[in-house]
C-alpha cells in the first residue's frame, strides 16, 4: 500500500464517520466525531510505536548478532588460510 492510498483510505474512513454522524440524533454526532478523532490519533500513535519498535529491534539485531570488525577480519583470515591449505580439500 502506498502512502497516497493509505491517506485516501484514512480520509474516506473519517468522511464516512462524518456522514454517519449527520444521521444521529442529539449528542450523537459530537460523540461519534470525538470517538473517530480519538481512534485516529491512537492508531497513529500505535503505528509510530511499532515503527520505533522495529527500528530498535533492528538496531539490537545488528549490534548483537553481526560480528565485530576484528572478529570478521579474523574469520576471513581463517577462511583464506583454509582455502590455501591442501588438507582441507574435499575428498
- Indicate the domain borders of the chain: 3-85
- In terms of C-beta distances under 8 Å and separation of at least 24 residues, what long-range contacts does 46-53 make, across chains too? none
Global pTM?
A: 0.55
Q: How far, CA to CA in Å, does 73 sit from each of 9, 51, 77, 86?
A: 50, 33, 6, 22
Q: 4 with 19: CB under 8 angstroms?
A: no
Digit-coded pLDDT (tens) for 27-74: 888 888 888 889 888 988 999 999 999 999 999 999 888 878 888 889
The confidence score (pLDDT) of residue 21 equals 80
Amino acid at each position: 500500500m502506498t502512502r497516497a492510498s493509505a491517506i485516501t483510505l484514512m480520509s474516506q474512513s473519517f468522511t464516512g464517520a462524518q456522514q454517519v454522524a449527520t444521521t444521529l440524533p442529539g449528542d450523537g454526532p459530537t460523540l461519534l466525531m470525538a470517538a473517530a478523532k480519538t481512534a485516529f490519533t491512537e492508531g497513529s500513535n500505535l503505528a509510530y510505536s511499532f515503527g520505533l519498535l522495529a527500528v530498535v529491534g533492528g538496531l539490537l539485531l545488528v549490534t548483537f548478532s553481526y560480528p565485530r570488525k576484528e572478529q570478521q577480519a579474523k574469520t576471513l583470515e581463517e577462511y583464506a588460510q583454509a582455502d590455501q591449505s591442501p588438507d582441507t580439500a574435499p575428498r
